[in-house]
Amino acid sequence: MKLEPISHKINCKTCNHELLKKSPASNVLVCSFCQTINWLQNEPKSGKAVSGSAKNLLSIFQIGSQIKDTLVQGEIIGFIELLVNDSYVVLYQLKDGNNHIHWLFERHGQLNWFDQINHKAIENAKITNPNAGKLFTLEVKGNFQNFMTSKATMLKRFDIFGEVWMTEELELQTKILEAYDEDGQCFFSFIFSSLHNLSFIGKRIHIPISSIINPSFQFPG
């Protein structure tokens, strides 16, 4: 049997521009030429995602940025910019050397480094009607942790850039919960229904600017 190499190239459905897929984990590729959002499987029936008007143009993180920190290593391959109520949250996706995807969450310049957790992990948490300042208990990987709701918001718009993994269930008006524990650990969840959510849990981190290599900034010499 002859083994064929797995194709990492797809053509944009709108303009046929050839796009290179960098991570096997991603399922959305935005065309760098015409900004069409190309879903690689299960295109949402009522897709409301848009692309093309990034608000984070002044961020130190760009697609192609390499981060070489002791905790965080990888290349930013894409990001999702979420407008929640009146402010922006950016979920950057990093591909590490083993092609695993990690998430870096930025809000007002603060960074959190996420692992995605199993949906079932929070089935016991009664957070269907979260209000700011509400305490709740979360079972995370078998451990119970207390969190306090920081923000309970509504998704108003989301823009996709580059290459990302995202759930096709994400829709406008999805509830978003942001909560913290006493150690500053962040819990971030898209709540689709009382038993169904997509959640991330992570730590607040600081990445020194010296450990970011941005392709837009080349020092001469």
Residues 107-146 that bind Zn ion (CB under 5 A): none
Beta bridge partners, 154, equal: 175
Candidate ranges 4-12, 97-105, 114-122, 124-132; the one touching Zn ion (CB under 5 A): 4-12
Amino acid at 199: S
Kindly tell me which of 20 and 205 has the beta carbon lying closer to Zn ion. Answer: 20
> Which range of residues in 29-37, 127-135, 136-144, 209-217 is near Zn ion by CB under 5 A?
29-37
The rounded distance, in Å, linking the Cα atoms of 22 and 19 is: 9
From the CB of 34, what's the least distance to Zn ion, in Å? Answer: 3
| 180 alpha-carbon distance from chain centroid | 18
Q: Please, what is the minimum distance in Å from the beta carbon of residue 22 to Zn ion? A: 17
Contacting Zn ion within 31-60 (CB under 5 A): 31, 33-34, 36
202 token code pair:
């992570």
Question: Is residue 14 at the binding interface for Zn ion, with CB under 5 A as the rule?
Answer: yes
Query: Is 12 one of the binding residues for Zn ion (CB under 5 A)?
Result: yes
Does residue 213 contact residue 65 with C-beta atoms inside 8 Å?
A: yes
Tally of CA atoms within 13 A in the half-sphere of 6 that contains its CB? 6
Which uninterrupted H or E stretch holds 221? none
Q: How many residues bind Zn ion (CB under 5 A)?
A: 8
The DSSP call for residue 47 is: -
Q: Which residues of this chain interact with Zn ion, rule CB under 5 A? A: 12, 14-15, 17, 31, 33-34, 36
